[in-house]
Amino acid sequence: MFVTFEGPDGSGKSTQAELLRAALAAEGREVVLTREPGGTALGERIRELLLEGDPMSPWAEAALFAASRAQHVEQVILPALERGADVICDRYLDSSLAYQGIARGLGVEAVLELNLRATHGLLPDATVLLLVDPAVAAARSGATDRLEREGDGFRSRVDAAYRELATRFPERILVVEADRPPDELAREIRERLRERS
Ligand code: TYD
């Protein structure tokens, strides 16, 4: 299975991705946990450009995220799926649809098209979307990188963007209200993924 975790900065998705990895590994499955932007040597270099660099044009930003993803799919995700491993990815293409497509205004269709080309059309089997009150997420995330410094207006656009994606792709995206104890949330996520598989 290919499962991705999505949500605004500070939604707790990295914690939940790790809890799912541990639960699947405990069942004896081979699990690859990875993240975007990054996940490969090239991707980590692109990540630095994206998160620490100077302001960039919205399409430059979208293209760099897609470049990191293209390398990641070819080098890590597809080989793992082909050998029968489960892959859990902390952020994937929906991040580009939400941040670049909707919050930056490039358009979901255009950003989706770019990303489907970059990934050989690889979509997740399921996407867990963690939603929290934007103010709570802001307080948790601490605004350390370039995108997190965009401010409250950008944050609420990202929150609205994810909600829009959930209504657009209801078969793939599972919405969970994430303002709850991590263990309880992890149990719910496992149950809901099991119902789908
Ligand atoms: P990351 O450091 O993984 O943030 P977090 O710890 O909150 O997951 O992600 C870096 C930032 O990059 C984050 O603000 C979301 C943004 N991003 C995009 O704008 N588009 C994308 O395609 C991806 C993968 C991330």
Question: Is any ligand 1 atom within 6 A of the Cβ of residue 96?
Answer: yes
Residue 158 confidence (pLDDT) above 70? yes
Instruction: Give the amino acid at 29.
Output: R
pLDDT, tens only, 12-61: 999 999 999 999 999 999 999 999 999 999 999 999 999 997 889 999 99
Task: Output the pLDDT for position 26.
Answer: 98
The pLDDT value given to residue 143: 66
The count of structural domains within the chain is 1
The arithmetic mean of pLDDT across residues 171-192, rounded, is 96
pTM here is 0.95
128, 176 Cβ separation under 8 angstroms: yes
Span 78-96, mean pLDDT?
98
The DSSP bridge partners found for residue 175 are 129
Here the CATH number for the domain that contains residue 39 is 3.40.50.300
Name the H helices within 12-169: 13-26, 41-52, 58-72, 78-82, 93-95, 108-118, 134-141, 152-168
1 C-alpha to center of ligand 1: Å? 22
**Nearest-angstrom CA–CA distance, 130 and 138:** 14
Average pLDDT, the chain: 94
Token pair recorded at residue 176 = 């969970």
Q: Which domain holds residue 8?
A: 2-196
Pocket of ligand 1 contains residue 134 by CB under 6 Å: no
| pLDDT value for 57 | 96
